[in-house]
Amino acid sequence: MKCKYCEIILKYDSNLILNYFYHLENNHYEELDDEDRIMHDTRKKMIESKQNYELQKKLDGDSDLIFNDQNSDI
């Protein structure tokens, strides 16, 4: 995949989209137009949210259920 802002060609692999995202952030963020910048910032927040979720999941365990002792009838 060729970057639309420079001549670099990114290798096709399972991380292509993520690699392109980081390439844009590190090299071309200031060149992005308003719409592309909004999309980039949104993607960045989504990536950070997913990473935080994965970290929290490792700390809490595999279950997505969180039990609240105050509201429990048992």
Q: Can you tell me the distance from the alpha carbon of 17 to that of 10, in angstroms, rounded to the nearest whole number? A: 9
Mean of all residue pLDDT scores within the chain: 85
Say which residues have a Cβ less than 8 Å from residue 43's Cβ, sequence separation at least 6. Answer: 21
Q: Is 0.85 topped by the overall pTM?
A: no
pLDDT of residue 62: 59
* Residue pLDDT, tens place only, 42-55: 999 999 999 999 89
